[in-house]
Amino acid sequence: MRFQDVEIRKLSDTMWEIPREGGMRVPGLVFASEAMMGDIVRDEAIRQVMNVAHLPGILKHSIGMPDIHWGYGFPIGGVAAMDAREGVVSPGGVGYDINCGVRLLRSDLTADALRPKLRELVAALHREVPSGVGSTGFVRLTAEDEEKVLTQGSRWAASRGFASAQDIACTESGGALPGADPDAVSAVARKRGRDQLGTLGSGNHFLEIDEVAEVFDDEAARAFGLFPGQAAVLIHSGSRGLGYQVCDDYLQTMADYMRRNAIDLPDRQLACAHIRSPEGERYLSALAAAANYAFANRQLLAHQARETFLRFLGMGPNDLGMRMVYDCGHNNAKFEEHEVDGRDRRVLVHRKGATRCFPPGNAEIPEPYRHAGQPVLIPGDMGTASYVLAGAPEGMRLSFGSTCHGAGRRMSRTQARSSVRGKSIVQEMERRGVIVACASHKTLAEEIPEAYKDVSEVVDVVHAAGIARRVARLKPLAVVKG
C-alpha cells in the first residue's frame, strides 16, 4: 500500500506500519483493514500520523485507529504517548473539545415497552435537555460553584444532588482529573462556558434512546447491566465553549514556547511544550479543569434525561433502573503507567478521537467491571448502530490501552449537505425507524449516516486486532441533536 511516496508495510490483516523517515522519531502504526486503508491513504491523515512521529519524547509508535481522519495538526483517531520526563504535551493532540466523550445509561425497560410512547418522550427530552447554539443550562453557577466544577467535576454534581455514588464510580477517573487549576483557565474561557454547563451543544453531539440489539459477550454484558431488547440512553457531549477556548489559548502559548525554544515541527498546529516546562504544566492544569467541566456537563445531561424519563413515564427510580454503565472521554491526555522496552514507564498518553480501553484486571476499572475489562462506548452514526466494547490485553502492548472512538467521517460537512439537498432528513430517518428531534436542520444534514464510515467495520478491526472486544450492539430508536 502506498501513501504518496511512502510505502506502508502490512503487518497483519488489521495493522500497518509507516516506516521512519526524515525527522520521524518513531514509526507510524495504523489499525485498519485493507479496504479501509485504501480509503485512509486518500486524504492527509497518514501524513499527520507521520508528523506526530516528529514530536520530542514520543514512544514506540505514532498510532492511528481505524476511524482515523484528517484533523488539525494531529489526526482525529490518533494516539501518541510521550515520555513523562523528556516528552512534550500538545493541545492539538487532545483537540478543541477537551474530554469530549460518551456516557451510557442502562434501564430496566424494554424497547418494546417504550415504543408506543417514544415520540412524546423524545419531544420531552428535546424540551428538557438544552441543545443547539445559544442554549443555556438549568444551573446558574456562582463563582464558587465554577471553581468546584473545574476542580471536582462530577463530584461537584453529586454535592448538588445531580449524581449518585454509582454515577461517580462508573465515570472514567471517578469523574474528576487530579491537578486541575482554575487559575490556569482564562477569563475568556470561563465566560464561554459559564452558561453552558448541562447543555448538549451542536454538531455531532447527541442524546439517543437505543435498543440493545445484539449481545456478543454474555458475561461482560451481564456485568455492565445490559440485556437484549433493553432500552438505554447514550449521551455524547464535551467541555463546550470553555474547553474550546482552553485549547485555543494554549495553542498560542505553545506556539510562542516553540519559537523561544527553537522546536521545529512539520505543522504549526502540532504546537507543544515540554511536559515539565511551566507552559506544559499550566496547560495540563487547564486541561484537567476543562476535562472536569466535561464530566460535570455530561453528568447534568444524564440527570436531566433521567428526570425526564421518571416524570414522563410516572415511574420511581427503582422501577426505571436507569443506572450508569460508564462514561469515557475520547479527547484527552492522561498520565499512565505502560510497559515500554521491557520496563514500566510513566507516560502522557494523548488520545484525540481515541478511547482509553484497559483490559480485565486493571485497577483503574470500577470494581464490578474489573473482571470484564473497561467498558468502551463507540457511537456510530444516527441511523445505524453504536457499540459497547470492553478492554482487551493486546491493547496494552499495541496501543497504550487505547481504541477507536466512533465511525469517523467519510464526507466533509459541505459534501454531506450537498448530498441531501431538497430531502427531509427527519422523514428519511423515520423511514429507517429512527425518530429525530433537532435544533438545527443544517446540522442534521451534516450528520446523515452516509457522512460516516461503517462503525461495524471500525469495530471489527479493533476486535480482530485484539485491542478491544465486542460486548453489545445498540440500535438507535430516537435521537435528540443539537
Partner 1 sequence: MLEVRGEDLPGLFSSCVLALFSLLVDRRTVRGTEIRAVEGAGETAEAQLFSLLREALLLFAVHKFLARSARGTIEGKRVTLTLAGEPFDSERHSVDREIKAVTAHLMSVKRLPGGYLARFVVDV
The footprint of partner 1 (CB under 8 A) covers: 72-73, 96-97, 132-134, 188, 191-192, 201-203, 241, 244-245, 247-248, 251, 268-269, 413, 440, 442-443, 446, 482
Q: Which residues contact 32 (CB under 8 A, 6 or more apart)?
A: 14, 16, 40, 64, 66, 68, 461
Q: Whole-number minimum distance, CB 188 to partner 1, in Å?
A: 6
3-state secondary structure of 12: coil
User: Which lies closer to partner 1 via its Cβ, residue 254 or residue 458?
Assistant: 254
Q: Whole-number minimum distance, CB 205 to partner 1, in Å?
A: 9
CB atoms within 10 A of CB 313: 17
* Residue 170 · residue 325 · CB < 8 Å: yes
Q: Whole-number minimum distance, CB 269 to partner 1, in Å?
A: 6
Q: Residue 409 gets which letter from DSSP?
A: B
Q: Whole-number minimum distance, CB 241 to partner 1, in Å?
A: 6
Rg of the chain (C-alpha set): 21
Torsion of CA 411, 413, 415, 418, to 10 degrees: 140
d(CA 411, CA 82): 31
Q: Whole-number minimum distance, CB 83 to partner 1, in Å?
A: 27
Q: Residue 385 gets which letter from DSSP?
A: -
User: Which lies closer to partner 1 via its Cβ, residue 203 or residue 375?
Assistant: 203
* Residue 189 · residue 165 · CB < 8 Å: no
User: Which lies closer to partner 1 via its Cβ, residue 346 or residue 442?
Assistant: 442
Q: Residue 312 gets which letter from DSSP?
A: H
Coarse DSSP helix, strand, coil percentages of the chain, rounded to the nearest 5 percent? 40, 25, 35
User: Which lies closer to partner 1 via its Cβ, residue 70 or residue 312?
Assistant: 70
Q: Which of 126, 236, 303, 405 is catalytic?
A: 405
CA distance to 86, 183, 225, 352, per residue, from 294 (Å): 29, 17, 24, 15
User: Which lies closer to partner 1 via its Cβ, residue 397 or residue 413?
Assistant: 413
DSSP 48-100: HHHHHTTSTTEEEEEEEEEEEE--SSSPEEEEEEEETTT-EE-GGGT-SSTT-
Residue 350 annotated to the active site: no
User: Which lies closer to partner 1 via its Cβ, residue 134 or residue 317?
Assistant: 134
User: Which lies closer to partner 1 via its Cβ, residue 168 or residue 254?
Assistant: 254
Q: Whole-number minimum distance, CB 298 to partner 1, in Å?
A: 17
* Residue 452 · residue 408 · CB < 8 Å: yes
Q: Whole-number minimum distance, CB 365 to partner 1, in Å?
A: 31
Q: E-strand spans in 287-369?
A: 323-329, 331-340, 343-352, 355-356
The one-letter code for the residue type at 444 is L
Enumerate the active-site residues: 405
